[in-house]
Amino acid sequence: MFRVKNSRRMRDFGENSGKSAQIEAGVDIVLSGETGRKSRSRFMSGAALIAVASVVAKLLGALYRIPLTNILGAEGMGMYQLVFPVFALFMTLSTSGIPTALSRVISEKRALGEPSRKYFAMAMLALVATGLVSGAILAGLAGRIALWQGNGSTRAGYYIIAPTVVLVSMIAGFRGLFQGELDMVPTAVSNIIEQAVKLCAGIGLAILLKPRGVTAAVMGALLGVSASEVCALVYLFVTYLVKCAKRERETLKFTRAEAGGMFKMALPIAASAILLPLSSFFDSIILVNALKWGGVEQGVATAQYGLLSGPVNSLVNMPVVLIMSLAVVIVPTVSASRVTRDIDGVLVKSRLSIKLAYLIGVPCAAFFMVFAPRLLPMIYPALKPEQLALSVDLLRVTAANIVLLATMQIYVSLLQALDKSRYAVISLLVAIVLKAGLSIVLTRYIGIIGGAVASLIMAATAFLGAYIAFRKICGVHLEKNVGLNLLLGVIMGLAGLGISSLIKSNILATVLGFIVCALVYVWLALLFGLVSRDELGMLPMGKALKKLYDVVRFWERKDET
């Protein structure tokens, strides 16, 4: 039996949910234990699959970025990173929140036993149309954007990447369909295909064109991105045909009201999805120009921007992407729980997601802060000593973003799943405006470190806004044991400092330090009960983790006997 105690707040879970009635005060909701367990098990299996694929894809991405940085150099990576945020912005503009809305609608309709395939048809029509328009606008503004960014050499890169926007839009549609059906395999495999093809084609073309100059090598790397999206789209299309052949046919005809309902749902999601790429776009314009205003010449300014947006942010984003695998699964699963009034399911998934964000994010941030001087020279040997020194400082400043960005995006996804995206939009918008102003001032007077500080403040502001909104709506506090978690991260970091001070070899110190830090943090997390035995059972390798839990907290097993 699950009793709704705060009807005003919890009633929000049932708003705008089609046939599901609103939850009224004093109503008892009887939840099937078996159904709840199956739902949570499927949630974690989907999250685990995306997480494993994210790790593999990110490893391939790291294998791509490391040799690419060594081939292009800091200035070449700066040019590449000037183009990529603009490409990401136009990708987001072309999808406009439709895939997330699609996954929500499909999961809700399937939970209610209603036809859902027609929503995919209307979504794909809209995605292809917006992709074509966005790609055409990007190509038309190529020269002007390059001038705004302070480096006209990037113009050709926009012509190369513009057609790819259409491909990405179609890919997003297929992923939205499969995620709504809680089939995470196509998304996982297509992510790996993207990174693998980009690795092979991008590096190969960059090497092939390097004799013609840095600009030509950058264009080759961008061609590799286009090739990767073609291969991912082919895989998803074939997968769709195979899966559709096994199902009963559904009508693809939809009414204007049905289309309007889905796109109304997509609008606030689109607004929140656009804001982060928009922030990166502002960075590509503000940071290089602000450095130039501070007296730094164009080549050096582009190189410093390349260090922050390339090697440093790539490392920071690795654990963030791993944590965000949870967010991919959260929206359809929480939406399905909301539409069936499974409040217990909503709360369990929300609490576990936030807890895992801290359990993964805190030790990763501490590790990067401690081992930055060892890690960066090891994986980016082509960088100059002064560039490596600057990169170490940048990584130490931005490492905290792992925790802030990951938890913020989890909260944003929860707000989207609960049909409260407008609160996420407001918090992100305030944070981005603050970041833009700080970036202009700080970067001009203290250099590229100012851009890193502004990014940190933006993430903290957006996190606080999303957290406050979620707690106001749901009346639920998910931030438990955060202080203890941070303390354990500090203890782990001190253990890592001890290893780093005793070993001279960068490779040996990093590898051994990672092993020691992981063992120390996992042991402390289990010892102090940061995650319960039941929660471990819902994670990948749950049985093994529960056995480890029993070893560390041996007194609990004795009490039971």
The kind and range of the H/E element at 561 are none
- Rg of the chain over Cα atoms, rounded to whole angstroms, equals 24
Q: How many CA atoms lie within 13 A of 137 on its CB side?
A: 14
pLDDT at 334: 59
Residue 212 has pLDDT above 70, yes or no: yes
Give the closest residue to 327 by CA, choosing from 89, 127, 51.
Answer: 51
Q: What is the C-alpha to C-alpha distance for residues 126 and 120, in angstroms, rounded to an integer?
A: 10
Q: What is the C-alpha to C-alpha distance for residues 123 and 130, in angstroms, rounded to an integer?
A: 11
Of 187-191, 327-331, 432-436, the least confident: 327-331
Give the closest residue to 254 by CA, choosing from 389, 119, 109.
Answer: 119
pLDDT at 55: 64
Rounded to two decimals, the pTM is: 0.68
471 — pLDDT class (breaks 50, 70, 90)? confident
The SS3 assignment for 324 reads helix
Instruction: Give the chain's mean pLDDT.
Output: 79
483-498 pLDDT, tens digit each: 899 999 999 999 999 9
240-297 pLDDT, tens digit each: 888 875 665 655 566 667 667 666 666 766 676 677 778 888 888 899 899 988 888 8
pLDDT at 73: 84
User: Helices in 475-529 by DSSP H: which ranges?
Assistant: 482-502, 506-527
Phi, psi of 28 (to 5 degrees): -90, 130
Burial degree of 351 (CB within 10 A; 0-12, 13-18, 19+): middle
Cβ count near 229 (within 10 Å)? 24
Structure tokens at 255: 């009414």
Q: How many CA atoms lie within 13 A of 110 on its CB side?
A: 21
Q: What is the C-alpha to C-alpha distance for residues 191 and 324, in angstroms, rounded to an integer?
A: 13
Q: What is the C-alpha to C-alpha distance for residues 410 and 419, in angstroms, rounded to an integer?
A: 14
What's the angle, vertex CA 280, arms to CA 224 and CA 71, rounded to 5?
35
Task: Please tell me what DSSP assigns to residue 310.
Answer: I
Q: What is the C-alpha to C-alpha distance for residues 57 and 54, in angstroms, rounded to an integer?
A: 5
Give the closest residue to 50 by CA, choosing from 178, 168, 174, 171.
Answer: 178
Q: What is the C-alpha to C-alpha distance for residues 10 and 25, in angstroms, rounded to an integer?
A: 9
Residue 511 has pLDDT above 80, yes or no: yes
Give the closest residue to 222 by CA, choosing from 130, 87, 316.
Answer: 87
Residue 539 has pLDDT above 80, yes or no: no
Q: What is the C-alpha to C-alpha distance for residues 338 and 419, in angstroms, rounded to an integer?
A: 10
Give the closest residue to 47 by CA, choosing from 561, 542, 469.
Answer: 542
Structure tokens at 426: 């407001």
pLDDT at 21: 32
| pLDDT, mean of residues 198-211 | 92
Distances (CA, A) of 343 to 3, 159, 228, 335, 464: 9, 49, 40, 11, 24
296-352 pLDDT, tens digit each: 888 888 889 889 988 898 888 888 877 766 555 555 555 555 555 666 666 776 777
Structure tokens at 560: 């039971």
pLDDT at 12: 42
The SS3 assignment for 28 reads strand
195 — pLDDT class (breaks 50, 70, 90)? confident
Distances (CA, A) of 277 to 255, 272, 456: 33, 10, 16
515 — pLDDT class (breaks 50, 70, 90)? very high
The kind and range of the H/E element at 254 are none
Cβ count near 405 (within 10 Å)? 27
Residue 371 has pLDDT above 70, yes or no: yes
Give the residue extent of every domain in the chain: 2-480
413 — pLDDT class (breaks 50, 70, 90)? confident
DSSP per-residue codes, 75-127: HHHHHHHHHHHHHHHHHHHHHTTHHHHHHHHHHHHHHTT---HHHHHHHHHHH
Task: Please tell me what DSSP assigns to residue 2.
Answer: E
69 — pLDDT class (breaks 50, 70, 90)? confident
Sign of CA dihedral 276, 277, 278, 279: positive
pLDDT at 17: 38
Give the closest residue to 126 by CA, choosing from 146, 105, 97, 152.
Answer: 97
149 Cα distance to chain centroid: 25
Residue 98 has pLDDT above 60, yes or no: yes
Q: What is the C-alpha to C-alpha distance for residues 251 and 382, in angstroms, rounded to an integer?
A: 57
Residues paired with 29 in a beta bridge:
2
Residues in the chain: 561
81 — pLDDT class (breaks 50, 70, 90)? confident
Residues paired with 3 in a beta bridge:
28
Distances (CA, A) of 419 to 18, 22, 410: 12, 14, 14
pLDDT at 253: 65
Structure tokens at 419: 């049909």
Listed in sequence order, the residues at least 6 apart from 352 whose beta carbon sits closer than 8 Å to its beta carbon are 44, 535, 538
